[in-house]
Every structure is written in structure tokens, then in C-alpha cells.
Amino acid sequence: MSTVAVMGSGSWGTAMALTLCDNDHRVTMWARRAEVCERINLQHRNPDYFGDLVLPDQLSAVQDPELAMKDAEFVVLAIPSQALRATLAEWSVPEQAVVVSLAKGVELGTGLRMSQVIMEVTGVAPERIAVLTGPNLSHEIAERQPAAAVVASTREETALAVQHLFHTATFRPYTNTDVIGCELGGATKNVIALAVGMAAGMGYGANAAASLITRGLAEIIRLGEAMGADPHTFSGLAGMGDLVATCSSALSRNRTFGEELGKGRTVAEIAGGTRQVAEGVKSCFSIKALAEKYGVDMPITYAVCAVIDGSLDPTSLVQALLARAPKPERY
């Protein structure tokens, strides 16, 4: 049994807290709002995300981040990627703790992956940082549906410790030392899911979805190789697995956000009607910047950015991709 702080009370943080409680760990969740803490502690519910789900009695919630992390052996960060830097700057992470990142994104402006942001802001050494990623839709995890994941760390012992921390009868993590590949897979698949969602919103079927997923994976691999990732990572859970789940499920925030765009709604209209964060809406621009930096061809990513910034509509996105010059599948 370990002492764990889950920093964030959104859908992903709540699902991971449930998983940890299933292993009888001592889990304290940090929530920004006092009313969320009260509902979790007194009613054992988080109505903003899982209103019908009864939370374990041993899960407690506090509004004070320092109290949440007191004596924690593991600090699990369930903070949206673009808010991670500012949030971490307000905290003092325990020196002895292993830090686990759940965020899937690339920081705007810096192009840093989330583990790099954690290192830069907190000074935590890379061997004490792990990344948990893979085809993990939060609602299915919270319902204890079977799922697998990847825990990546530059230090294998750290990855093994986090694997043991989260491994339950229904949640099976594997380990990997390719942190670059695992983080890129988690960030870039959100952008491809936006494109797949747009196609679905316009009424296109399985052919269009499969084409976007497959060519999207080619973009992800090209960028990953240019940045030093192991290309084999992208055929696994952090790559193809996460990509398929995010592009295929109605539970995927990025897929459903894209679908609404395909139906003609604006970014502002969609974002204003949900508490959920579609990471790809912002991360697409940082991924595009990485593609430009490394000289990588990523046409789907570029087209998604153009739709998000309003310079292209979804119909024109499809036309632009189909009108590109023909070339070999591998080049």
C-alpha cells in the first residue's frame, strides 16, 4: 500500500483515483473547488463527471495542494497540458515522490513535452518522472472495463514501480523506456481524432476514417523518428492503440469536438458548452511548430490547425487533402 496524491479532480483524475483505490492505496485527491471536495468527501460522488458513480470511501479530497501531497510517495498529475506549467509553479512537489504525468499534449510556445515541463518547473530528475498513456477513455476505466496502458520512464525501475501501483484486475499497464515516443503518441493522436471527427460530422464513413487514421499514424511516426523516438513505439498501445481508441469512440473529447466542427459549429460554440478539455484544439499548433522545426511533412495536422484558426472550413480540409500531389505510400 502506497500513499498517492492525485492532483486534479476531472474525469481522468477521478478515474485514476478509482483505479488506485481498487489497489487499496491511500489516495488523496486535490480539487480546485471547495464544493467538489465536499461532494467527494460527504456524498462520495463527483457529479461534474461521473454523477452516477459511487466513489470509494477511502478516497478523500482536499483543496490545499500541499496537504494533498503531504508524505506522498507518488504524485499523479491530472492537469490539462496547457495549464500544467502555471499550476506546477504554485506547488512544491515532495522531494522523495515519483511524479506521474497523465497529460497528453505539447506545450504551446516552447514545444516541450509534459515530462520536460515537469522537469523545468519543479527540478525533478527525469528518473523520478513517469508517463502513463495509451487507449484509456476515462469513463470506461471508471466503469472497470478491461484496458491496457503504457508506463514510460527513462529509468526502468521507476516504470516498474508505477506499473505495480496501477495494475489491477481490469487495468493492465506495460512498461517502456521510450518517453519521447509515448508522449508524442499521446499528444498527436488528439489532432488526428479532430480530423476523423470532422469527417464523421460531415457524414463520411469508415473509408474516410480509416484513411485519416492510417495517414495520421504515418505523420506521427515521421515526427517521432525525427525527434529521436523508437518507431516501434507507435505500433503499440501508446501509438496505434491510443490513436484507434481516440478516433473511434463517442467518448473521445477530441473526436466529438471534431464531429461538431464537421456539423458546422464554431470552436467557440463547442468549447463554451462543455467542461471537458479537447487537448488537440490547442496542441495542434504546438505539434505543427514541431513539424516545422524538424522539417516533417504533416498535412493532416496542418489542415486541422487551419480549421481551428478559422482559415479553412472542414469541407475545404477534405478537398485540400485529396488534392495533394500523388506519391508512394512510403517516401
The set of catalytic residues is: 189
**Alpha carbon 146 to chain centroid, angstroms:** 19
Q: Which of 302, 327, 321 is nearest to 202 (CA)?
A: 321
Do residues 212 and 195 touch, judged by C-beta distance below 8 A?
Answer: yes
Question: Other C-beta atoms within 10 Å of 52: how many?
Answer: 6
Cell reading at 70: 503531504
Looking up cell 485514476 gives 16
**Rounded to an integer, what distance in angstroms lies between the CA atom of residue 269 and that of residue 263?**
12
3-state secondary structure of 152: strand
Question: Euclidean distance between the first and final Cα of the chain, in Å?
Answer: 51
Q: Look-up: residue for cell 467557440?
A: 268
Encoded amino acid at 89, one letter: A
Query: What's the grid cell of residue 74?
Result: 507518488
Beta bridge partners of 50: 46
**What is the layout of strands, in order, in the sheet containing 171-176?**
60-62, 26-30, 3-7, 74-77, 98-101, 129-133, 147-152, 171-176
Listed residue (275, 277, 270, 274) closest to 307, CA to CA? 270
**Nearest-angstrom CA–CA distance, 34 and 62:** 8
CA distance 17 to 8: 10
Let me know how long the chain is. Answer: 331
Long-range contacts, 23-26 (Cβ 8 Å, 24+): 23/165, 23/166, 23/167, 23/168, 24/58, 25/1, 25/165, 26/1, 26/2, 26/58
